[in-house]
Amino acid sequence: MFIGRRRRSAGGEAVRFAHCLSRNITPLPSVELLGGTPAHCGPPFPPMGARRETVGACAVRALAGRSTRVRLVLAAGSRSAHGGEHGAGRPYPRGGLRCAQARRGLQGGTDPEAEEIVQQLIENSTTFRDKTEFAQDKYIKKKKKKYEAVITIVKPSTRILSTMYYAREPGKINHLRYDTLAQMLTLGNIRAGNKMIVMETCAGLVLGAVMERMGGYGSIIQMYPQGGPVRAATSCFGFPASFFNSLYEFPLSKVDSLLSRTFSIETLPSESEDNIPAEEESNGSLDEKPASIQETEEESTTEATMEGNQTEEQETMDLAAEDTENKESKEKGNKENIREKQRKQQERRKKLVEAAALLKEKNADGLIVAGRFHPTPLLLSLLEFVAPSRPFVVYCQYREPLLECYTKLREKGGVINLKLSETWLRNYQVLPDRSHPKLTMSGGGGYLLSGITVVMDKGKSDAGRLEAQKTEEPTSKKRKLEELHS
Amino acid sequence: MSFVEYGDTIQEGDTAIVFLGHESMFPVKVQHGSKTQTKTQILYSTDISLITMMLELKPGSIVCESGTGSGSLSHAIIRTVAPTGHLYTVEFHQQRAEKAMEEFREHKVEHLVTVKNQDVCKNGFGVSNMADAVFLDIPSPWEAIGHAKSALKVEGGRFCSFSPCIEQVQRTCLALEEHGFTEINTLEILLRVYNVRTISLQIPDLGKAAEDNSNPGFDSSNQANQGVMCGSQQQGTAQFKSGVPLREMVGHTGYLTFATKSLS
Ligand SMILES: C[S@@+](CC[C@H](N)C(=O)[O-])C[C@H]1O[C@@H](n2cnc3c(N)ncnc32)[C@H](O)[C@@H]1O
C-alpha cells in the first residue's frame, strides 16, 4: 500500500514511488520505508556522500536527477545477526530502513557493511581455507552479492509507470499497453495549454500521462464514475502541487443533467447539501447501467486476482482504501472534524461548479476515454463538450465495443476521420550476428478509436438521427456491396 | 491556379489534393524540381508517438536531434516541449537546414528551435550537458553516440536512434554499451488499421425441417455477438460488424533503439 497518500509534496510522491518501485526489486515492507524521517521536498538534502540519509531523501534526489542508486543497510542487529552461515533466504531489511549512501554512478564503490559480513563469514567458515583460490573468489563474490542490497530509485515518468503497470498489474489499467498509451497522447494532440476532458478507469495512469504531457499548462477535467476519481497511479508521478490546481473532476452521473441544462450553478448548492458520496449513491437515474458496470468490475477483479500476485492484492486494498476515504468522511461525521469536513466540502463544491462551468463552455480541445466502460454512451455524451476540429481518442481492451461506437458515431455525425487501430510491438535481441525478434511478444495492447470533431450540419444531424432510428439496413447493404466489389 | 476555370493538367504552383482513399486526402503544393526537392524519408505518427513517450518528452524538455531531414519529427518534438523547452536540430545538408529554418519561421516556432548546419558525427550537437533527450535518424548513428552522451545532462537522460536496417542497430548498440549507456532496448512498432464493415454471411441450407425456423445453435450465440439473423423463407443471412484489416499495411519503418545515460 502506498503511504502518505494525502501528502501532496514532491517528497511524499517520491516516497510512494520509491516504495512502489522497490516492490519490483525486493518486497520491502512498506512501513519501514517511512521508518526514517519523512522526506521533504527541496533542500536541505544531506550533502553528497553523507553517511546516512533516508530512502525518502534519496528518492527526492532521484526526482531532481534521473536516478539514484542507493544501498539499503540493515539496522544494527539484523543483517549482522546473520554473521554465521545460515540457510535462510536473503535477509530483508527490518525496521529503521536506511540507505547509508546514495551512490553516484553505476558500478564502483562497495558496500562496506556487506564486506564486513563477508569477512565474518570467511572467518567463521571451516571450509574456506581449504578451497582453491578460484573457489575462494567465487565464494566471496557470491556472498557479496547476497549481502549487498542496492536498489535504483528512478525518477517517475509516463514511460516508467506505464511499462511497470503493464508488466506488473495489467488488470489495473485494462491491459493498456504503453505503446498504445503513447499513441493516445499523440492522437489526442495532448500538449501544453489544452483544455482536456479525460474519462479513464486505468488507475489514473492515463490522467497522469496527460498531465505530464501538458506540463501544468491548461486544464483537465476528469470525469469519474461512482466511487470517485481514482488516482493511484497519478499520485506516483510526483507532480508539483500546482499541477493539481488546474485539475477538475466531474461526476459522470451529472453529465446528463448538465447537457439537458437541468444542472445549473444556481440549483447546485442545495443539490449538494448532502455530501458528495451520498449524492452519488442516491443517483439511481442511470437505471440498469450501474448493474452491468458492477459485473464488469467484478470480472476485471477476478482477472486481476487470477494474475495472482501479491502486489495486486495490495493495490486492491489501496484502491479500496481510497474508496473508503470518501465514505469515511460521510460515516464519521463527528463534531470534531465537522468544520474541516465543511471546509473541504465547500472546496469540492466550488471545484465542481468550476468544472461544470468549464464543461458548459463546450470548447474542450480534446477527449480521452479509456477503461472498462462501454465507450458508446460515453462518447455520444462527452463529445458534446468538445469544440469542433478537435481530436478524440477512445481506448478499449476489446475491439467489438469500438466497432459499435464507430457505427453510432457515423450515424450521429459531427465526426470525421474515424479510425480504428491497434499497434503491434516487437522487442529485439540485438547481438553481433545474432539479432532477431524476441521469442515472445505481447499478444495485444488494446484498440483505439480516434477521430476529429467537426461542426455538425443541423439538417444532416437530424437526418442522421432518423436514420439511426430506422434500421441501418441501407448502409449495411451498401457496405455489403462494397465488400463484394473489393 | 484558378478557382474559376478548369485546367487539363496540373501546373506549377498549383495546390492539388491527393486522394489516397476514403478519408485520406492531402493538399500538395506542386513545384517543379526546385533546389531542395530531394525529400527525405520522414517519420510518421506511430513511431513518433513511441519516440516521444520513451524519450520522456514533455513541456520544458531540452532535446537534441539529427538529422533534421524534412522536419517531421522536429515539429512533433517542438509541439511537445513548448512553451518552455527547446530543440537543437543538426542537419549537414545545407539546403535542408535552410528549408527547415524557413518552415519553423513560417509556423511561428522559431523561438523554440535552433538549427545547426553541421555534421553531427564530426561536430556533435553544439551543446554539452544540456539535453534531456537525444534522437538520431542518420545513416551511421554509432558514430554520433559519443556526441550524444556529451550533449546529455550530467545527471543523465534518454537516447533514441531510428534505423531501418538491423546492421545499423547492431553497431549502434555496441557503441551505446561502450559509452556506458544502460537500459538498451530495441523495438519495432507497427500500426494496424481496421476498416469497420457490416458483413453478411449466408446461412447454409442443410435441409432442416421447415417448422424449425428458430435456427437453434446460431440464434443464441450469434445474437450475443451482435449478430443479426435476417431469416427469409429459403435462405437466412447472419450479419455482423467486423474490423477488417487492410489488404496491405506498412510492415516495416525502422527499429527504435532506446537507452539511458545515468548519473556518472
Ligand atoms: C531520414 S532523414 C531524417 C528525417 C527526419 N527524422 C524527419 O522525420 O523528417 C535523415 C537526414 O539526416 C541527415 N544526415 C545524415 N547524416 C548526417 C550527419 N552526419 N550529420 C547531420 N545530418 C546528417 C541527412 O541529410 C537527412 O536529411
Q: Does domain B45-191+250-261 have CATH number 3.40.50.150?
A: yes
Asked which of A330, A363, A385 is the last residue of a domain, the reply is A385
pLDDT for A138 equals: 87
CA angle A373, A378, A383 (to 5 degrees): 150
Q: Is B242 in the A-facing interface, judged by CB distances under 8 Å?
A: yes
pLDDT for A457 equals: 67
In short, whether B160's Cβ falls inside 6 Å of ligand 1 is no
Q: Of A144, A154, A151, A110, nearest to A26 (Cα)? A: A151
Q: Is the pLDDT of residue A101 over 70?
A: no
Most confident of A47-51, A150-154, A255-259, B257-261: B257-261
Q: Is B155 in the A-facing interface, judged by CB distances under 8 Å?
A: yes
Range of the domain at A18: 10-154
Residue B259 near residue B159, CB atoms below 8 Å = yes
CA–centroid distance, residue A112 to ligand 1 (Å): 49
Asked which of A102, A133, A154 is the last residue of a domain, the reply is A154
Confidence of residue B1 (pLDDT cuts 50, 70, 90): very low
Regarding whether A168 and A197 lie in a shared domain, the answer is: yes
In short, whether B67's Cβ falls inside 6 Å of ligand 1 is yes
A464 part of a folded domain: no
Report chain A residues whose CB lies below 8 A from the CB of B186.
427-428, 430
pLDDT for A230 equals: 92
Regarding whether A162 and A144 lie in a shared domain, the answer is: no
Q: Is the pLDDT of residue A385 over 50?
A: yes
Regarding whether A357 and A221 lie in a shared domain, the answer is: yes
Helix (H, G, I), strand (E, B) or coil at B256: strand
Residue percentage of chain A with pLDDT more than 90: 42
Mean pLDDT, to the nearest integer, of B130-148?
97
The ipTM value here is: 0.84
Regarding whether A201 and A99 lie in a shared domain, the answer is: no
Mean pLDDT, to the nearest integer, of B144-166?
96
Domain residue spans in chain B? 45-191+250-261, 194-245
Q: Is the pLDDT of residue B133 over 60?
A: yes
Confidence of residue B156 (pLDDT cuts 50, 70, 90): very high
Most confident of A126-135, A396-405, A472-481, B27-36: A396-405
Closest-lying ligand 1 atom to the alpha carbon of residue B144 = 19
A225-228 long-range contacts, CB within 8 A, separation 24+: A225/A201, A225/A251, A225/A252, A225/A253, A225/A293, A225/A373, A226/A252, A226/A253, A226/A280, A226/A281, A226/A290, A226/A293, A227/A280, A227/A323, A227/A326, A228/A276, A228/A277, A228/A280, A228/A322, A228/A323, A228/A326
Q: How far apart are the first and last CA of chain B?
A: 60
Q: Is B233 in the A-facing interface, judged by CB distances under 8 Å?
A: no
Q: For residue A11, what is the enclosing H or E element?
A: helix A10-25
CB contact under 8 A, A482 and B197: yes
Regarding whether A308 and A335 lie in a shared domain, the answer is: yes
A90 part of a folded domain: yes
Radius of gyration of chain B (CA): 26
Strands, DSSP E only, in A303-383?
366-370
User: Chain A interface, mutation test: which of B53, B78, B109, B189, most A Cβ atoms within 10 Å?
Assistant: B53
A422 part of a folded domain: no
CA–centroid distance, residue A430 to ligand 1 (Å): 24
Q: Is B161 in the A-facing interface, judged by CB distances under 8 Å?
A: no
A100 part of a folded domain: yes
Residue A448 near residue A420, CB atoms below 8 Å = yes
Q: How do residues A301-357 score in pLDDT, each as one tens digit? A: 333 333 333 333 344 444 444 455 555 555 555 776 788 888 888 888 899 999 999
Q: Is the pLDDT of residue A100 over 50?
A: no
Confidence of residue A126 (pLDDT cuts 50, 70, 90): confident
pLDDT for A65 equals: 54
Mean pLDDT, to the nearest integer, of B62-75?
96
pLDDT for A246 equals: 93
- Distance in Å, alpha carbon of B263 to nearest chain A alpha carbon: 5
CB contact under 8 A, A423 and B84: no
Poorest-pLDDT segment among A34-43, A86-95, A129-138, B127-136 = A34-43
pLDDT for A468 equals: 45
Domain total of chain A: 2
Confidence of residue B202 (pLDDT cuts 50, 70, 90): very high
Regarding whether A212 and A143 lie in a shared domain, the answer is: no
A437 part of a folded domain: no
Regarding whether A197 and A278 lie in a shared domain, the answer is: yes
Regarding whether A109 and A195 lie in a shared domain, the answer is: no
Report chain B residues whose CB lies below 8 A from the CB of A216.
59
The C-alpha cell 466489389 sits at: A485
Regarding whether A191 and A142 lie in a shared domain, the answer is: no
Q: Is the pLDDT of residue B32 over 90?
A: no
Residue percentage of chain B with pLDDT more than 70: 75
The rounded Cα A340 to chain-centroid distance in angstroms is 29
CA angle A271, A273, A275 (to 5 degrees): 110
Asked which of A350, A385, A420 is the last residue of a domain, the reply is A385
A77 part of a folded domain: yes
In short, whether B137's Cβ falls inside 6 Å of ligand 1 is yes
A459 part of a folded domain: no
Poorest-pLDDT segment among A116-125, A143-152, A250-259, B46-55 = A143-152
Regarding whether A285 and A205 lie in a shared domain, the answer is: yes
Distance CA B148, CA B129 (A): 10
- How far, in Å, are B138, B143, B161, B180 from residue B172 at the CA level? 11, 8, 8, 12
Regarding whether A98 and A49 lie in a shared domain, the answer is: yes
Q: Is the pLDDT of residue B67 over 70?
A: yes
Q: How do residues A169-218 score in pLDDT, each as one tens digit? A: 999 999 999 999 999 999 999 999 999 999 999 999 999 999 999 999 99
Residue A14 near residue A238, CB atoms below 8 Å = yes
A471 part of a folded domain: no
CA–centroid distance, residue B59 to ligand 1 (Å): 24
Mean pLDDT, to the nearest integer, of A346-371?
94
Distance CA A467, CA A41 (A): 59
Q: Average pLDDT, whole number, for chain B?
A: 85
